[in-house]
Amino acid sequence: MELRPIKKVIIIDDDPTSIFVSEKILKKFPDIETVQSYLNPLKAYSDIEQLINSDVSHMLPDLIFVDLNMPVMDGWNFIEKLNQLDPEKVSKIKINVLTSSESITDIEKAKAVQNIEAYVQKPLNIDKVKALRASSIINRYFPC
């Protein structure tokens, strides 16, 4: 699999305050060129699906931060639907769960999903992003 730096990040969360904080933190890292946010996971899924099925799949996000507990479509359903799309293209997207859930069940479930890189407790902050960057897997995609 081709290793790419993290340039485009998507945040999916139904909480506008969480999105605001996450955007501010991520924009402090100059290597991240684009941070796009969605309050509605269905809209995020639809946009990503459209990119995957088009000639502009190079515009796919490198990294997605997704909340688990959202109305309409929760984070698990979003991840499940995403993983049903073109596996070659989806495998290039790294997913970080960004949630207030401290459930051991959720943490264990996240560990079992291949393209979930990390399980991060809200709120996102500089130290958490630095820790993600330093981790063995994501560091290859999100260089310091």
- What are the extents of the domains in the chain? 8-140
Mean pLDDT of the chain: 89
Confidence of residue 133 (pLDDT cuts 50, 70, 90): confident
Confidence of residue 136 (pLDDT cuts 50, 70, 90): very low
pLDDT of 20 reads: 98
A 10 A CB-CB count for 50 gives 11
**Using one digit for the tens of pLDDT, what is the confidence trace for 40-87?**
999 999 999 999 999 787 899 999 999 999 999 999 999 999 999 999
Confidence of residue 4 (pLDDT cuts 50, 70, 90): low
CB burial of 86-105 (b: ≥16 within 10 Å; e: otherwise) equals: eeeebebbbbbbbbebeeee
Pairing of strands 34-38, 8-12: parallel
**Using one digit for the tens of pLDDT, what is the confidence trace for 24-53?**
999 999 889 999 999 999 999 999 999 999
CB-hemisphere CA count at 13 Å for 115?
23
Structure tokens at 42: 């269905």
- Say if pTM beats, i.e. exceeds, 0.85: yes
Q: Which residue has the tokens 């995403």?
A: 82
Residue 3 predicted with pLDDT over 70? no
pLDDT of 57 reads: 75
Q: Which residue has the tokens 């990294």?
A: 63
Q: Report the distance separating Cα 59 and Cα 8, nearest Å.
A: 8
pLDDT of 6 reads: 83
Q: What distance separates the 2 farthest-apart alpha carbons in the chain? A: 40
CATH for 8-140 (3.20.190.10, 3.40.50.2300, 3.40.50.880, 3.40.50.2000): 3.40.50.2300
